[in-house]
Amino acid sequence: MPVSSVEESERFRNRVRAWLEANLPPTLRAHPRRVSEAMVDGAEIPDDVKTWRARFGATGWGVPAWPKRFGGGGLSPDEIGVLNEEMARIDARNPIGGLGVMMFGPTLLEFGNEEQLQQHIPPIARNEIRWCQGFSEPGAGSDLASLRMAAEDCGDHFLVTGQKIWTTGAQFADWCFCLVRTKNSPKKHDGISFLLVDMRSPGVEVRPIRLISGESQFCETFFTEVMVPKANLVGPLNGGWAIAKRLLQHERQAASGGASPLGAPSTLRLSDLARETVGVDSDGRLTDPDLRRRLTEHLMDARAFELTRARGEAERRSNSDPSTISSILKNAGSRVSQLRAELTLEVLGHQGLGWSGEAFAASELASVRTWLLGKSGSIAGGSHEVQNNIIAKRILGLPDPAGSS
């Protein structure tokens, strides 16, 4: 790096450090996880998190690579690296998130028109509105292009009727980005459009789905003759499939570990937990040799995953587009996360079997629910099988067995 660039980087570092020292609420510095806990849909947001979100959102650093004119940080890859380092130094958490940041925002920046960008991107950058994703349907999950929810052309608006399922956070969302059928075509991918729907519109009904973990973050969403202005069409009519593919790349990028706690703190806690519950020998090793082997293998996989994810993130910052690594890490990240949850319950023993009651600590009950919810990782964001097909065909260039005689 040239001397001038080094000097500029250090000036920016000093500015970031001073700003963080002055603006991060002391309560969040002492308890940084409060930020993550407040970002769960439906969670009550404490005053200190509200303050931190407003301050951080005003800088644009919550979406550091997005253009300044739309409320982003407008930072270079080097500056983003410095910001991340300074945030990590004091364990400050980014309070700006959600599907708008992870998936929809980057997609709209590429495909949206000026009016759509001005309307939607700044509120996303400040975390003022929440988005949900209307892609999957009861008969169109892995085969997404088979979707049937129709958008009838009615002059200055569309009339949308149909059903979506597994709509994450729909009961809390302000807007939904949807795939709709706007033309019946022999080539099913050709008749799909990308539409934005205000969730407060008459005719929208949301029904939460209760999961085995006890949570209801997924929903059924019904649309009955919902009027949607044509100004809410993103990209060309019947051209939504290309937009959907790019958005799914961003989704896999996020699901591959960008927002997933797969790093050193979680694996370190698991190691400490194993030492406390299983016990160690005179050399400080776990007394159960089989568990010791499997835990070591898991820690190695988790570390390799984190390093590869970091490399993918660096590539994404330099190229601005999702990398092919995201498709590979989606499956790898799910496997690492699920195995960690299983090992945690094994280490807890009987205390890892609780569902409620004073006999179990809050952390033990949370481990059970994390294990149950983690099962959805094999499906959410694209099933393992679909991801393997993508890796085989589009990354490795392998022939399609279905096309062979």
134-173 residue pLDDT tens: 999 998 887 889 999 999 999 999 999 999 999 989 999 9
pTM: 0.75
Topology (CATH) of 131-238: Butyryl-CoA Dehydrogenase, subunit A; domain 2 (2.40.110)
Given the candidates 2.60.40.10, 1.20.140.10, 3.30.200.20, 1.10.620.20, the CATH classification of the domain at 260-403 is 1.20.140.10
Query: Thinking of the domain 3-96, which architecture would CATH place it in?
Result: Orthogonal Bundle (1.10)
Average pLDDT over residues 374-391: 75
Annotated catalytic residue, options 79, 86, 137, 251: 251
Please enumerate in sequence order all residues whose Cβ is within 8 A of that of 110, keeping only pairs 6 or more positions apart, or say none.
246
Higher pLDDT, 404 or 283: 283
Question: Which helix (H) or strand (E) segment is 226 a member of?
Answer: strand 218-229
Mind listing the pLDDT tens digit for each residue in 268-318? 478 888 888 888 888 888 888 999 999 999 999 988 888 887 777 666 656
What pLDDT shows up at residue 2? Answer: 43
Lowest model confidence (mean pLDDT) among 230-234, 247-251, 323-327: 323-327
Q: How far apart are CA 40 and CA 250, in angstroms?
A: 20
**Mean predicted confidence (pLDDT) in 221-245:** 96
Distance (Å, whole) CA 120 – CA 118: 6
* 3-state DSSP assignment of residue 290: helix
Which element (helix H / strand E) includes 276?
A: helix 264-278
Give the integer Cα–Cα distance in Å for 367 and 154: 50
Query: What gap in Å lies between CA 86 and CA 331, rounded to an integer?
Result: 30
Distances from the Cα of 252 to the Cαs of 77, 102, 332, in angstroms?
Answer: 21, 10, 11
Q: What is the pLDDT of residues 29-72, one digit of tens each?
A: 888 878 877 777 777 889 999 999 999 999 999 999 999 999 99
Does residue 189 carry a pLDDT above 70? yes
Strand partners for 208? 219
Q: Is 251 a catalytic residue?
A: yes
User: What is the rounded average pLDDT for all residues in the chain?
Assistant: 86
pLDDT tens profile 84-125: 999 988 989 999 999 999 999 999 999 999 999 999 999 999
Q: Is residue 322 classed as helix, strand or coil in its secondary structure?
A: coil
- Predicted pLDDT of residue 255: 61
pLDDT of residue 40: 73
CB atoms within 10 A of CB 95: 23
| pLDDT attached to residue 174 | 96
H or E element that contains 164: strand 157-165
What pLDDT is stored for residue 260 in this prediction?
A: 36
Of 87, 1, 21, 93, which Cα lies nearest the Cα of 53? 93
φ/ψ of residue 175, rounded to 5: -135, 160
Contact (CB, 8 A) for 161 and 147: no
Identical fold, 3-96 and 131-238: no
CB 172 within 8 A of CB 183: no
Return the DSSP state at 328.
H
State the residue for tokens 């079997």.
353
Rounded CA separation 350/115 (Å): 57
CB 149 within 8 A of CB 223: yes
Bridge partners for 145 per DSSP: none
pLDDT at position 265, please? Answer: 38
Task: Show the tokens assigned to 373.
Answer: 């919810």
Question: Is residue 57 packed enough to be buried (19+ CB in 10 Å), middle (13-18) or exposed (0-12)?
Answer: buried
Distance, in Å, from the CA atom of 324 to the CA atom of 268, rounded to the nearest integer, reads 29
Place of tokens 């082997």: 293
Determine the longest span between alpha carbons in the chain, in angstroms: 79
pLDDT at site 263? 31
